[in-house]
Amino acid sequence: MNTMQQFTGLSAVLTGFDSSIIAPTIDQINVKEEYLAAWTEKTGTALATSILDKYATLASDSNNSSQMIGEQMLAATNGADFVLACRKLIFLWYSGAWPTLSADGTSTSSVLLSTKSYNAGLVWQVMQSHPMGSSNYRYGYWSEAPAPLNQYLGKSNS
Amino acid sequence: MKKTIEYVVLVGILILISSCKQVNEKDPNKDDVESSEAVAETTELVALANDSLSSTVPLEITVSTQPPTLESLQHDFDVFSWESFIALNWPANEDGTPNTNMVIGQDQNALTVWQSWKSSRDIFLKNGAQPKGWNEDVPPPVVCDHLNGSDFSKAQISLTQVGKTPNVLDESGEPFQTGPLIDQNGQYTRYEIFTNQSMFDYIVDNKLYNKKGQAIYNKDADFPSSSTSNDKVGAIMVKSAWVKMGGKYDSSKFHTTMALVYNNPEEQSGVKPACELVEVGLVGFHIAHKTEDEPQWVWSTFEHKDNVPTQNETADKDFYNFYDANSDMEVNEPPARPWNPAIPYTTPSQIERVIPITDDAKALNDKYHALLENAVPGSVWANYDLISTQWPTDATSVSDPTGKPAPSFLANTTLETYIQGTVEQTSSSCIACHNNASMTSGRFSDFTYLLQRAQTKK
């Protein structure tokens, strides 16, 4: 696994989305590049590398389900910084924004990475909807029920 | 080496074709045997010459690389676009079928296959009347009657629009009324939309040509797709952009035709109807083609190579169709209102391409230009560039009915002049825009705004 494969694999496990959504084979948006760069820079290369290494080790064991890997990545025994970096990665994928915790740890603020990241936020998929101000749905879509949630998660066969 | 041999063979073939044609022209009363021999020889030679240039419209993409990548598929779609461009611009017989006894470019001004299709004004008639049959001529606007004379038959198409499909855009809201494109002679660029028979038949068979028919239909439109399984051509639309020849324009560089240029009062308030018969040259060309694997259609766009320079690159040509190095006009700004194509002179637009043509598309353009030149030295079609092709990367996506198009944005400088760029929901994207198209009933119209032109039946 190269770094990007580790990163998208980890992202799929942490977000609960299928890797076909996180990293499509034909990826014309390619927001993953932007996320990897931002996450590595803001997390710090050393911590980012250790997180990806741990994921790669867990993923190489075929006995580990995605659920088990996710639980182990977020285990408190990994250390607060490790877990926080993983949680920030989840936030990044869902919102397209990078979260910052206040010094006293009581509040957060976040900054969108880009227009692309705003539109690519997984939260819109979970809502079975579209970003505010940027809809790819057709005229009159609001009069019909959306597709089942599993299809938005890329898990139509599960 | 192979290419050199092909070139020699092709040149030889074309000389022979030319000789055959000359023989026939010199002595049209040659006996039947000799004539049929000549025809047979010509047919065989043309078939050889057509090895790379085909009059057959491709029905689907040919995937060249396994596993495919975004880049390799873009290339494959661009090849599809060029093959489509060549097939649709093939010289046509009187019935509109490709004349396989000719090669594309053999006659610069020959009527092309798509030029015999139905224009939007042939389909969406006043009072919602049923369109005439596919092979029946539709009379031009009454205001053109005074031109009816010996030259009238030369007018193959009636160019009625100025601006970006304004009849439709009036109904779609302010953002799309982006303005006319003024050429270097101070004249308005003209547009026309055509549909092929598959699309036309679907509209007529389902009575979608008027509002009442669309209301009764009461479901989403679903035009036929091209299919390799049954070898049928599905729905294809063509939108073309033209400038009047003469003045600063050298007609030898363009595909030209005689046209009725009609100032349409329904387009802009205050415009008086007027009509003139003039020679126009092709400057822009969209092809939208629905295929089985691409239900969001494949969107190909071509331009004359001298249209505009690219932003942040050197404007190194002596002449551009829509740019003047000595002009101090603001770049990519529409002219001030009121817009009226009858105004004798409007300051020319100063246009630059915002999104550069990719290196791969440039290489493909070079390849097809060489093929066209090989087939007919000096071919006018070698003056046209593919800008790009937009296609759905995930055609069956449930969360995105646009199918996640690539590239995300695509604009033709003659057809989406003022909405070039990469701003979401603002800049030109064929699929994203046409995904919003609906009929007058509000039902999805399958990526065409044409059905919005249906009028009330009386």
Task: Please report, for chain B, the start and end positions of each structural domain, with discontinuous segments joined by +.
Answer: 67-452
**Crossing angle for the helix pair B2-26 and B359-375, nearest 10 degrees?**
40
Q: Which chain A residues have a beta carbon less than 8 Å from that of B70?
A: 26-28
**What average pLDDT score do residues B139-168 get?**
56
List chain A residues with CB under 8 Å of B444.
Answer: 138-140
Domain span holding position A95: 3-131
Residue A32 lies in a domain: yes
Q: For position B160, what pLDDT does the model report?
A: 53
pLDDT class of B149 with cuts at 50, 70, 90:
low
How far is it, in rounded angstroms, from Cα B75 to Cα B73?
5
Give the separation between CA B5 and CA B216, rounded to whole angstroms.
60
SS3 state of residue B267: coil
Tell me, yes or no, whether A71 lies in a domain.
yes
Contacts of A96 (CB under 8 A, 6+ apart): A31, A112, A113, A114, A116, A117, A118, A119, A120, A121
- Does any domain span residue A78? yes
Q: Is residue B13 helix, strand or coil?
A: helix
How far apart (Å, rounded) are the C-alpha atoms in residues B108 and B256? Answer: 7
- For residues B21 and A44, give the distance between their C-alpha atoms in angstroms, rounded to a whole number: 75
How much is the average pLDDT of A2-21?
A: 96
Average pLDDT on B52-57 reads: 93
**pLDDT score at A105:** 84
- Pairwise CB contact (< 8 Å): B404 & A29: yes
Query: What interhelical angle do A45-59 and A66-73 show, nearest 10?
Result: 150
**Contact (CB, 8 A) for B113 and B95:** no
CA–CA separation, B430 and B404 (whole Å): 12
Average pLDDT, chain B: 84
Q: Is residue A146 part of a domain?
A: no
Look at B35 and B421; give whichever has higher pLDDT.
B421
Nearest to A28 among B399, B408, B435 (CB): B408
In a domain, A148, yes or no: no
Over residues B371-384, the pLDDT tens digits come to 999 999 999 999 99
Judged on CB neighbours under 10 Å (0-12, 13-18, 19+), B70 is middle
Residue range A111-116: mean pLDDT, rounded: 95
Average pLDDT, integer, range B203-210: 98
How far is the alpha carbon of A146 from chain B, nearest alpha carbon, in Å? 8
Burial class (CB in 10 A: 0-12, 13-18, 19+), A143: exposed
Reading phi first (left if > 0) and then psi (alpha if -120 to 50, else beta), residue B355 is in beta
Which residue in this structure is represented by tokens 């007018």? B155
Note the pTM of the prediction, 2 decimals. 0.88
**pLDDT band, residue B146 (cuts 50/70/90):** confident
> Does residue A158 sit within a domain?
no
Domains: count for chain A: 1
Question: In the predicted model, is pLDDT for residue B206 greater than 50?
Answer: yes
The answer to whether the CB atoms of A134 and B424 lie below 8 A apart is yes
Residue A123 is assigned to a structural domain of this protein: yes
pLDDT class for B48, splitting at 50, 70, 90?
very low
Query: Rounded to whole angstroms, how far apart are CA atoms A27 and A34?
Result: 13
Output the pLDDT for position B446. Answer: 98
Q: Which band of pLDDT confidence, cut at 50, 70 and 90, is reported for residue A111?
A: very high
